[in-house]
Amino acid sequence: MDLENQRRVLDLTEEHGGENIIVVLGAAEGEAAGLAAETVTAGDPTFAGPLAGVQLGLKVYHCCEPEFKDEVDADIYDEQIGMMEMVLDVDDIVEEMSAIRDEFMKY
């Protein structure tokens, strides 16, 4: 997650409260999604950005996870995400995201 997006997440969390924020990711690989998820839950693991050492514990999901997919209109999901879902290793992404949430998510 780049520094600008880290700043946005931090600002929104401070403005609205962590219990009111859900981060939705769209990374193409489980490892990349996990790194971004760790950043918004446990803090920036690279210690380079505004979330370095900041444990927000936010709710975080990947757009291909059932928890997200079940909450959006199926036609819009298919139009916007369906093609990518077919080429991604969704099981790997779900496994990575679940592990991060289980360990670091507060809300």
Q: What is the pLDDT of residue 73?
A: 98
Q: Percentage of residues in the chain with pLDDT exceeding 90?
A: 100
With beta carbons less than 8 A apart as the criterion, state whether 25 and 61 touch. Answer: yes
pLDDT band for position 94 (cuts 50, 70, 90): very high
User: For residue 47, is it left (φ>0), alpha (ψ between -120 and 50) or beta?
Assistant: left
Tell me the pLDDT of the chain averaged across its residues: 97
Structural domains in the chain (count): 1
Task: State the Cα–Cα distance between residues 99 and 49, nearest whole angstrom.
Answer: 23
Q: What is the pLDDT of residue 11?
A: 98
pLDDT tens, position by position, 29-70: 999 999 999 999 999 999 999 999 999 999 999 999 999 999
Task: State the Cα–Cα distance between residues 50 and 14, nearest whole angstrom.
Answer: 13
Burial of 1 (0-12, 13-18, 19+ CB in 10 A): buried
Tell me which residue range forms the domain holding 54. Answer: 3-104
Instruction: Report if pTM > 0.75.
Output: yes
- What's 81's DSSP letter? I
